[in-house]
């Protein structure tokens, strides 16, 4: 049981980046979702604050479907946090970054309407 579940609503900061690995068999998507925040300013008034940035990652059919969304699309994300680890190409030092692995994602209907398209995959293939 994964206890580090996160849920948030925000906008895609860029066009999602889809790549295929393992000889083109596995689809992997990475993107950034910006979540608007409000905070009190120095005069005690509510104002827009720096948005929170969440790196998201998705796999296979979910990745391919998310890749159809454009920059700026408002989405609802449910996922779990993980830490990506890699060696820096220049220094070979260990680097880490937190990422939200997408368990479910959908277009927010707060400010837009959506037309759904049929997905030919079976539920087992969608993971």
pLDDT per position as a tens digit, 12-36? 999 999 999 988 889 999 999 999 9
Read off the DSSP letter of residue 104.
E
- Quick one: pLDDT at residue 3? 72
Is the pLDDT confidence value at 121 over 80? no
- The structure tokens listed for 111 are 């400010």
3-class state of residue 4 by DSSP? coil
Q: What is the average pLDDT value for the chain, to the nearest integer?
A: 90
CATH hierarchy code of domain 5-37+47-126: 2.40.50.140
The helix or strand, by DSSP H or E, that contains position 83, with its residue range, turns out to be: strand 74-87
Q: How confident is the model at residue 4 (pLDDT cuts 50, 70, 90)?
A: confident
- The structure tokens listed for 78 are 């449910």
- Quick one: pLDDT at residue 115? 83
Is the pLDDT confidence value at 64 over 70? yes
User: Per-domain residue ranges for the chain?
Assistant: 5-37+47-126
| 78 close to 1: Cβ distance less than 8 angstroms | no
Q: Percent of the chain having pLDDT more than 70?
A: 92
């Amino acid at each position: 049981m994964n206890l580090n579940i996160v849920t948030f609503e925000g906008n895609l900061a860029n066009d999602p980046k889809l790549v295929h690995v393992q000889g083109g068999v596995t689809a992997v998507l990475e993107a950034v979702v910006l979540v608007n925040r409000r905070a009190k300013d120095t005069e005690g008034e509510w104002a827009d604050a720096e948005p929170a940035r969440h790196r998201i990652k998705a796999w296979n059919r979910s990745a391919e479907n998310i890749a159809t969304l454009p920059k700026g699309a408002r989405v609802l994300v449910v996922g779990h946090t993980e830490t990506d680890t890699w060696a820096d190409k220049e220094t070979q030092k260990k680097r880490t970054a937190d990422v939200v692995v997408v368990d479910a994602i959908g277009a927010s209907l707060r400010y837009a309407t959506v037309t759904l398209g049929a997905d030919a995959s079976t539920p087992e293939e969608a993971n």
